[in-house]
A and B are shown apart, each in its own frame.
Chain A
Amino acid sequence: MSRIHITTTVNGEAAEFLTDPRETLLDVLRNQLGLTGSKEGCGTGDCGACSVLLDGVLVSSCLVLGVEVQGKTVETIEGMATDGALHPLQRHFIEHAALQCGFCTPGILVAAKALLAQNDNPTETEIRYWLAGNLCRCTGYDKIVRAVQDAAAEMRGAA
C-alpha cells in the first residue's frame, strides 16, 4: 500500500509524515510524531481520550484519518503549556486532584480549553454537557468540573 505524504501544522509548528490512508490521526500523532499525550481509550469516538483541535474544532482524533489533516492545523495536549508554564486548566486540575490514573486527562484538558475559548464563564451544567463525551472512570467528575470552573474564573480575572 502506497503511503501518502502529508504536510500540516501541529501545535504551531510545521510537521510532515508519510501515512497509510487507513491510519487515524491518533495513530499518526502517537506513532509517527511522538506525541503520545493523546490516548486511545476506545478507538470508536466514545471516550474522548484522544481529543484534539482540528482547525480549532474539538474532534476525536481516532475518528479522523491522518490523510485528512493535509494543510490543516492540529492542536494537542503537548501544545497546552507555553514556555514551560502550565495552562491554568492544568494547574487547577493538579490543585483539585481532578485526576487519578490520568488516562482521560489530556483529552479532558483539550476539551475544556475548547469550551473556555468560546464561553469564559460556563455553568456547571454547560461544563457537564460539553464534557459528556470525555469518560473518566476514576474521579466521579466533580473535581474535574470544579477545576474547570476555577480555571475559568482565574482566566476571566487575568483577562
Chain B
Amino acid sequence: MRYHAVGSFDEAVRISASATGVTRFLAGGTDVLVQLRAGIVQPDDIIDIKHVPGVKDITRRADGGWDIGAAVSGVELGAHAALCRDWPGVVEGMRLVGSTQVQGRATLTGNLCNGSPAADSVPGLMAAGATVSVTGPEGARVMAVADIPKSPGKTNLKPGEVITRVHLPPRGANGGDSYLRFIPRTEMDIAVVGCAVNLRIDGDTITEATVALGAVAPTVMLVPAAGAALVGSTLDDAALDALVIAARAACRPISDKRGTAEFRIEVAGVLARRAASIAYARAKGETA
C-alpha cells in the first residue's frame, strides 16, 4: 500500500486516475481503516486529503448557505454555533455517529461515501437539499446528495472521483430541520430507522417540506409523498396521519438482527411524526 499526502484535489485526482489497483481516499478514516483492518478493502493507494488547503473550513457563502470542507469532523461541525443554529438537524445527524473518539475524526463526506443505508448524517443532508462538489478525471461537477447513494456500500461517483465540499443551501426565514433515529440503546449503535424532516412555514402553515428516511431501503432516500403530506397544513392531526402513511408506504426494509421489516415500517412512521413536530417547532423559533 502506498500512502499519498496530497496538497491539492487535482493531485489527488491525478494519482487516482493513474492508479491501476484499488484506491481509497482518506479523510477521517473511521470506515476506511476498519475495512482495511478487516481485509474487506485492500487499497494499493491511499490518498490522504487532509493536507489540502480548506478541507477543514466551514464557510458561510454570500447567499447565506454553507460550504463544509471534506475533512471537517463531527466535533468541528458541532462546535460551529452559527451552522448549528441554521441546520440543527444536519448537525445532530452527524453528531450521532459513533463515540467521542470517532467524532474527532469522522466526516460528513466520509459518512456519505461509505454508502451505508443507515448513515445517520445523510437523511439530514438530503432533506436540507444539500449538494456536493465532485472532482474527477473528467473534471468537476456538482451533485445532489440525494443522487450519491447507489446501493449498500456503493455510490454513483465515477472511478477516481472525490467529493471536495458539502454545500448547504441558505436556511432562510422560518425554516427548521430535525433528525431522529431509533436504536435499542441510548448511544453507540447503528440506526434501525432514521428520519429527517426539513420544512418552512408562513405563519402556522407549512409551505415547503422534505422528508428523508434511512435504514428502510437499500439507500437513504427522499420521500416526496411524505413531504407533500405536510405542505399546506398547520401540522394538524390529519396532516401528521397522512405523513405517517406516506413514510411507511415508502419503506422497503430488510429484516435483520437489529429489527424486522415490519418493525422498521412501524417506527418509520413514528419517527416521521416526531421529527416533523421538532422541525415545525424550530421553524417557529421554539427550542426543541
Q: Which residues of A contact B (CB under 8 A)?
A: 1, 4, 20-22, 24, 43-45, 48, 51, 54, 57-60, 62-65, 67-68, 70, 111, 114-115, 129-134
Contacts and interface: CB of A to CB of B under 8 A. Distances in A.
Given A63-B33, A132-B188, A58 B3 contact: no
Nearest to B2: A21
Interface string B1-34: 1110100000000000000000000100110011
A130 B29 contact: no
Interface residues of B, number: 27
Interface of B: 1-3, 5, 26, 29-30, 33-34, 36-38, 46, 48, 50, 73, 75, 98-102, 104-105, 186-188
Nearest to B188: A132
Contact of B105 (A43, A44, A63, A134): A63
A65 B4 CA distance: 12
A132 B29 contact: no
A114 to B, nearest CB: 8
A54 B37 CA distance: 21
Contacts of A65: 3, 26, 29, 33, 46
A133 B105 contact: no
B162 to A, nearest CB: 18
- Tell me whether chain A's interface is mostly helix, strand or loop, or mixed: mixed
30 contacts: A21-B1, A21-B3, A22-B1, A22-B36, A24-B33, A44-B38, A45-B33, A45-B34, A45-B99, A51-B101, A54-B104, A58-B101, A60-B99, A60-B101, A63-B29, A63-B105, A64-B29, A64-B105, A65-B3, A67-B3, A67-B5, A68-B48, A68-B50, A111-B100, A130-B100, A132-B99, A133-B99, A133-B100, A133-B101, A133-B188
Contacts of B104: 54, 57-59
Contacts of B186: 132
A112 B188 CA distance: 18
Contacts of B101: 45, 48, 51, 58-60, 63, 111, 133
Contacts of A48: 99, 101
Contacts of B36: 22
B4 to A, nearest CB: 9
A57 B236 CA distance: 45
Nearest to B73: A57
A47 B66 CA distance: 34
Closest 10 CB pairs of A and B: A133-B99, A21-B3, A132-B187, A57-B104, A60-B101, A59-B104, A63-B33, A44-B34, A67-B3, A133-B101
